[in-house]
Chains A and B, each alone.
Chain A
Amino acid sequence: SQQGEEDPQALSIQEGENATMNCSYKTSINNLQWYRQNSGRGLVHLILIRSNEREKHSGRLRVTLDTSKKSSSLLITASRAADTASYFCATLNYGGSQGNLIFGKGTKLSVKP
């Protein structure tokens, strides 16, 4: 079952614009992670934010986490055509020693040159 739900499902922007994707989740989390997937390929880890963090930056990426609203957002600034991919948020299955991730359905980002 999906834990995270990304919004929007699809996003189309011009190169140079910012892209914002949102993720909502249902249960308590240890951390929330964002992954990128180029068409039909493996997932690439982008950023991990712990439940006690509110914001994190990595290059052109900015992630925020609001545990009171059970939501996170991923901002990609100054987007490039190479950013075209699907983006997934994933939460840790909280409880015991389990470490599997629960993924949302993803946001498909298209950046037009």
Chain B
Amino acid sequence: DSGVTQTPKHLITATGQRVTLRCSPRSGDLSVYWYQQSLDQGLQFLIQYYNGEERAKGNILERFSAQQFPDLHSELNLSSLELGDSALYFCASSPSGGSYLYEQYFGPGTRLTVT
């Protein structure tokens, strides 16, 4: 158990819908990272938050957004969903804003299926 929790575990929704994925980092970790894992694209970094502020952006679509709240939990919002958004979405946390010294701890993921 990494100490990172993600809800829900599974999500099935229709195209065009909007969903929210939730992540609680390990106690004391200030950074939250979101990754998407799909068969064709592999593991892709989406976005990072550090202590409530956006720190880095990766291959995140404009239809996707995220935020980190004062209690450090984070939410990833996916809207106007398309079939191609079906994937595993992982949240990871680390103590600092950079991974120079620290590994990242991954949650169990949310499996999103868009039908």
Complex A-B: 26 CB contacts under 8 Å: A30-B99, A33-B103, A35-B106, A40-B88, A40-B109, A41-B109, A43-B90, A43-B92, A43-B106, A45-B103, A48-B103, A92-B98, A93-B56, A97-B50, A97-B97, A97-B98, A98-B98, A99-B31, A99-B99, A99-B100, A100-B45, A101-B33, A103-B42, A104-B42, A106-B42, A106-B43
Interface size on A, residues (CB 8 A): 26
User: Could you tell me which B residues sit within 8 Å of A by CB distance?
Assistant: 2, 4, 31, 33, 35, 42-43, 45, 48, 50, 55-56, 58-59, 88, 90, 92, 94, 96-100, 103-109, 111
A88 to B107, CA, bound (A): 16
A64-113 contacts to B, CB under 8 A, are 88, 92-93, 97-106
A2-57 contacts to B, CB under 8 A, are 2, 30-31, 33, 35, 40-45, 48
CB-nearest residue of chain A to B43? A103
Pairs of residues from A and B, 5 with the lowest C-beta to C-beta distance, nearest first = A99-B98, A103-B43, A99-B99, A45-B103, A98-B56
B105 touches A100 (CB 8 A): no
- Write the nearest CB–CB distance from B21 to chain A, whole angstroms: 14
Which residues of the partner chain A approach B33 to less than 8 Å between Cβ atoms?
A: 99-101
B107 touches A92 (CB 8 A): no
Answer whether A42 and B90 are a contact pair too, CB < 8 Å, given A31-B100, A99-B100, A105-B42.
yes
A98 touches B55 (CB 8 A): yes
- Which interface residue of B31, B45, B92 has the most chain A CB atoms within 10 A? B45
- Which interface residue of B58, B104, B109 has the most chain A CB atoms within 10 A? B104
- Which interface residue of B33, B56, B88, B107 has the most chain A CB atoms within 10 A? B56
- Write the nearest CB–CB distance from A93 to chain B, whole angstroms: 7
- Which interface residue of B33, B56, B98, B108 has the most chain A CB atoms within 10 A? B98
